Amino acid sequence: MRGVRVALYYAPTADDPLWARGAGWLGRDPETGAAPPQPAIPGIAALTEEARLYGFHATLKPPVTVRHDITWDEVVQATRAIAAGIPAFDLPPLEVANLHGFLALRETVPCPALQALADAAVAGAHHLRAPPNAAELGKRRRAALSPAQEANLLRWGYPYVFATWAFHMTLSRRLSPEEQATLCPAAEAWFAPALRERRRVTEICLFVQRGSKAPFLLAQRIPLAT
């Protein structure tokens, strides 16, 4: 699997209206490869370009380059082992929020089960990753990391894990205040019908990127314990 990156994400189930709304907002369904039309909002294609590459999701285990001696079956088995240790649980209601200048869907109340799922994904898939190179470390350090984030980077290859992790489903690039004023109410209106519904977290979604500029694809949905 030389050069392949994988990530463990939360994504709504395929029959959840939120999945269709998220794919429509970003203009790409990472499971089917379809390119649904985006809302008629000026500039939305550019504002969502980076998020579209990753697909509609919330990060559990951030994307990692897989060690060259790891097979795809081993990736799947590691994910199954993580999922088997976490029971399905209710997701708190979500809302459109401003996260450091980005638009994202975030939970309205803290959810310990979400944190436990993310923690298990980071630790349980750690052995799959190749060590980050100097360029990757340098890129992360441009964000002026805190001591805790720097320690995470050195130990886990990514700064925003465990106590520094935050659930979010990215909807845009970083926005200016003027862009926020336009895009935030549009996102609230677009997602409102789906956000009114209750939902459970029942799966870990295994995403894969088979090239540095290739879009991430949802390769497999792996059920949590029941």
Query: What is the domain count for the chain?
Result: 1
Q: What is the pLDDT of residue 105?
A: 98
User: Is residue 126 classed as helix, strand or coil in its secondary structure?
Assistant: helix
Q: What is the pLDDT of residues 137-191, one digit of tens each?
A: 888 998 889 999 999 999 998 999 999 999 999 999 999 999 999 999 999 999 9
How big is the CA angle at 164 (ends 198 and 145), to the nearest 5 degrees?
140
Closest CA to 170 of 32, 58, 62, 36: 58
Q: What is the pLDDT of residue 12?
A: 98
Q: What is the pLDDT of residues 7-29, one digit of tens each?
A: 999 999 999 999 999 999 999 99
Q: What is the pLDDT of residue 124?
A: 97
Which residues are CB-contacts of 201 (< 8 A; sequence separation ≥ 6)? 10, 88, 89, 90, 91, 113, 114, 117, 224
pLDDT at 35 over 90: yes
Which residues are CB-contacts of 152 (< 8 A; sequence separation ≥ 6)? 158, 159, 160, 161, 162, 164
Element counts in the chain: helices (H) and strands (E): 8, 9
Q: What is the dihedral of CA 203, 32, 105, 181, to 10 degrees?
A: 180
pLDDT at 38 over 80: yes
Q: What is the pLDDT of residue 3?
A: 78
User: How far does Cα 171 stand from its chain's mean position?
Assistant: 11
> Contact, 207 vs 57, CB < 8 A?
yes
Q: What is the pLDDT of residue 131?
A: 87
Which residues are bridge partners to 7 per DSSP? 207
pLDDT at 61 over 90: yes
User: Is residue 65 classed as helix, strand or coil in its secondary structure?
Assistant: strand
Rg of the chain, C-alpha, whole Å:
17
Report the distance separating Cα 174 and Cα 133, nearest Å: 26
CATH code where residue 59 lies? 3.90.1140.10
Q: What is the pLDDT of residues 73-132, one digit of tens each?
A: 999 999 999 999 999 999 999 999 999 999 999 999 999 999 999 999 999 999 999 988
Report the distance separating Cα 29 and Cα 11, nearest Å: 11
Which residues are bridge partners to 103 per DSSP? 98
172: domain range?
Answer: 5-223
State which H helix or E strand residue 205 sits in: strand 203-209
Report the distance separating Cα 24 and Cα 37, nearest Å: 6
Q: What is the DSSP letter of 129?
A: B
Q: Which two tokens stand for residue 152?
A: 């995470």
Closest CA to 30 of 2, 4, 11, 50: 11
Q: What is the pTM of this model?
A: 0.95
pLDDT at 1 over 80: no
